[in-house]
Amino acid sequence: MPANKKYLTTSSWQRFAKISAGIVGGYIISALLHIALAFWLPDPKTVLITSVYTLYILWVTIMILSFLAKNGWKLWALYIAIIIVLSVLVYFGKIYNPIN
């Protein structure tokens, strides 16, 4: 049974924004989250070992959720805001909790 046409994205730019946000933005968010956890949790080796599996699970979840958004550019804005917050956490994690 084919999809209902009224639920499909008609603009190719919106489709590109959603796909690129899901693939690129989702991977960056997943990786930064695991790096931030490695800096802020007491045992970074455990986080890095489990990130082999959980990074891809989180990435696929974010990729699927990106297609639920109505506007791909607002989704990119949200992802960039999340990336900035996680980058700040990683930066301060390096300063206050350096990994030896």
Indicate the pLDDT class of residue 3, thresholds 50, 70 and 90: confident
Indicate the pLDDT class of residue 100, thresholds 50, 70 and 90: low
List, for residues 47-78, the tens digit of each pLDDT value: 889 998 999 999 999 999 998 988 999 999 99
Q: Using CA atoms, how far apart are residues 13 and 9, in angstroms rounded to an integer?
A: 9
Domain tally, the chain: 1
In contact, 74 and 15? CB cutoff 8 Å? no
Q: What is the pLDDT of residue 10?
A: 73
Tell me the whole-structure pTM to 2 decimals.
0.87
Whether 86 is in a domain gets the answer yes
> Which one is predicted more confidently, 100 or 72?
72
| Full residue range of the structural domain in which residue 37 is found | 12-96
Whether 6 is in a domain gets the answer no
Q: Using CA atoms, how far apart are residues 25 and 57, in angstroms rounded to an integer?
A: 14
Q: CA angle at residue 38 from 55 to 95, to 5 degrees? A: 135
